[in-house]
Structure 1
């Protein structure tokens, strides 16, 4: 009788690997503690309101578009339209049903945006590529027209804008820069955690299979149409919440023009520069988009003594964005996040790989 084989050693060897994959890096924990505790204490109003809050909101918006474009392969240029749906829906909940509270209003705005995204995602079952991009472009213009045409959405105000009601959570006032920053940060952290788990789940694997080749995904039994529509809904949910935060935590007052086609292209640039198919790439791309204008303004003041006009700096910014997008699409489609990972790998094997 031959000896039986045991698989316990294999399980013992594999378990630590799984645990290591789920372990949160110490650097990330330190960064989160710094963002939650230190930044509200040392940050001034300018940095909180003009730098960090828009950076976080744009990161969340990029995350929403990345789930659709980077992970599922569905082209969209209507991100800002779904942001507008979330902003106006959240405003309606806070204005007409104030007893719901801020968290429920944000969630409701995200759900309304998800339903609208699901509606405009229905053509994805029959068209893709350029034709789907044109469909989302039509959604962008239609939603802009809708929120301008019907005054009910902005409470019949003469200016056509929506103003942030009093933001509070559990009787704590959030109308200060620190309050709005913490509201945005906590919301982004929660939704980032959800997105990380989502892309690692069966849903995320199915999305990536559809992105790589939808015909092969259908052959192996993945319901392609259902998962494409789910991607539109979840992407629009993220964009809707980011739109509400953009209107109330950052701008304070917004109109349909705050979510125009330029905003859609800005979010698309974030995922291209940061890295499509990457959650961390959204933060890298949003940081680049947010900090580049500040850097150019500082450089213009320092090098040319203010002789460079602000309009010229904006044109220079657009030129740099255009060049970078071309470079990344040709040389590094995975964006800045791939360059950072390569640099980290080289540093880990220093000096052998330098």
Structure 2
């Protein structure tokens, strides 16, 4: 028996979905995801796959920045490591897609552990600068180890195969990319029902107090970097299979800023924020393309788009930090409360 909203068991308190209404909405979402490829055209399927890849990487960064309080601008570097690992394995050895994605995540995870070592001594802006250095080193490796990475020309990735089906279209890739992203989201959500996730939150809220309580800071900070980088590596591998070509310029610093903006805009420290932020920030460039396309700029339209996109990303971060620091997730919670109280709201 439940009294009000009190939970009467640990299982009920730890449940991801604790009401029939929530389970009903989950059913609607699953049905929508299953039906979407059959009603959407190629452009919307492309956007859906791109959004799913961005959600996976944003979730990883949110684990690090939103839940553990460690700012990183190296997400694109970890994605690049995952993408190049997948590309090399696919081209040279033709190993299975899922094995390649796992290997890409592991390689990025190992790099994340190395990059995370300074996190015990520095944090905030200084840690962000340290992670930028990781991106510079990764770009150097991608550009100069031509025998392995193809140098500035990059690598062309053959289409993946799953159960004999060649994944050479957005429709086919959708059935791999979206389920993997859903599994990563479920894994991240369940992580915070464990000691590890709660240790991350304790470190974010007050790292000195967490250490006094017996939480080894270095171990859990490195673990946070490792999990975040694993997510980025898997997302990078999906990126390689989706675009079928990667170069050192595929993973610039602006991509790391993009993911940090997605975390801030969506809401730091919430899984819903990772999803909403990634969707919002992925669709912003598409809207900008439409706006720039309407302007009488001719062939110079694309030259205008790149700096405008960078300005918009920065502006989004500033505006959300000032006016809605809890992001789109908080906006969604307010809308839900509004409907819960309607028509008795004041």
TM-score clears 0.5: yes
Change (3 A) 1:295 1:110: same
Q: 2:187 aligns with which of 189, 194, 199?
A: 194
Q: Which residue is equivalent to 2:225?
A: 232
Distance in structure 1 (CA, Å) of the matches to 2:7 and 2:234:
43
Q: Which residue is equivalent to 1:94?
A: 90
Are the counterparts in 2 of residues 78 and 139 from structure 1 also a CA contact under 8 Å? yes
Q: 1:215 aligns with which of 208, 221, 225?
A: 208
Are the counterparts in 2 of residues 53 and 184 from structure 1 also a CA contact under 8 Å? yes
Distance in structure 1 (CA, Å) of the matches to 2:152 and 2:251:
16
- Structure 2 gaps of 5+ residues are none
Residue 182 of structure 2 corresponds to residue 185 of structure 1: no
Q: 1:244 aligns with which of 227, 237, 243?
A: 237
Q: 2:29 aligns with which of 13, 31, 49?
A: 31
> 1:18 offset after TM fit, Å?
3.9
1:9-46 C-alpha deviation (Å, 9 max, x unpaired): 99x971495487544531122112211x2112112212
Q: Which residue is equivalent to 1:4?
A: none
Are the counterparts in 1 of residues 73 and 257 from structure 2 also a CA contact under 8 Å? yes
SS at match of 2:8: helix
Residue 70 of structure 2 corresponds to residue 74 of structure 1: yes
- Aligned pairs for 1:119-134 (under 5 A) are 119-134=114-129
Change (3 A) 1:122 1:316: closer
> 1:126 offset after TM fit, Å?
1.9
Distance in structure 2 (CA, Å) of the matches to 1:93 and 1:56:
23
Distance in structure 1 (CA, Å) of the matches to 2:296 and 2:129:
44
> 1:83 offset after TM fit, Å?
0.4
SS at match of 2:113: helix
Q: Which residue is equivalent to 1:109?
A: 104
Are the counterparts in 1 of residues 266 and 327 from structure 2 also a CA contact under 8 Å? yes
Q: 2:287 aligns with which of 295, 302, 319?
A: 295
Q: Which residue is equivalent to 1:118?
A: 113
Are the counterparts in 1 of residues 64 and 224 from structure 2 also a CA contact under 8 Å? yes
Higher-Rg member (1/2): 1
* Alignment length (residue pairs): 339
Q: Which residue is equivalent to 2:158?
A: 165
Are the counterparts in 2 of residues 88 and 153 from structure 1 also a CA contact under 8 Å? no
Q: Which residue is equivalent to 1:285?
A: 277
SS at match of 2:155: strand
Change (3 A) 1:163 1:9: closer
Q: CA RMSD in A?
A: 2.4
> 1:199 offset after TM fit, Å?
2.1
Distance in structure 2 (CA, Å) of the matches to 1:298 and 1:28:
33
> 1:352 offset after TM fit, Å?
2.9
Change (3 A) 1:26 1:128: same
1:109-167 C-alpha deviation (Å, 9 max, x unpaired): 1011101111111111222222211110100100011111101332xx47621112231
Distance in structure 1 (CA, Å) of the matches to 2:179 and 2:171:
12
Distance in structure 1 (CA, Å) of the matches to 2:35 and 2:215:
46
Q: Taking structure 1 as the reference length, what is the TM-score of the superposition?
A: 0.88
> 1:300 offset after TM fit, Å?
5.6
Are the counterparts in 1 of residues 7 and 13 from structure 2 also a CA contact under 8 Å? no
Distance in structure 1 (CA, Å) of the matches to 2:321 and 2:191:
26
Q: 1:41 aligns with which of 27, 38, 42?
A: 38
Distance in structure 2 (CA, Å) of the matches to 1:184 and 1:263:
19
Change (3 A) 1:283 1:136: same
Q: Which residue is equivalent to 1:151?
A: 146
> 1:348 offset after TM fit, Å?
1.1
Q: Which residue is equivalent to 1:5?
A: none
Are the counterparts in 1 of residues 53 and 238 from structure 2 also a CA contact under 8 Å? yes
Distance in structure 2 (CA, Å) of the matches to 1:71 and 1:316:
31
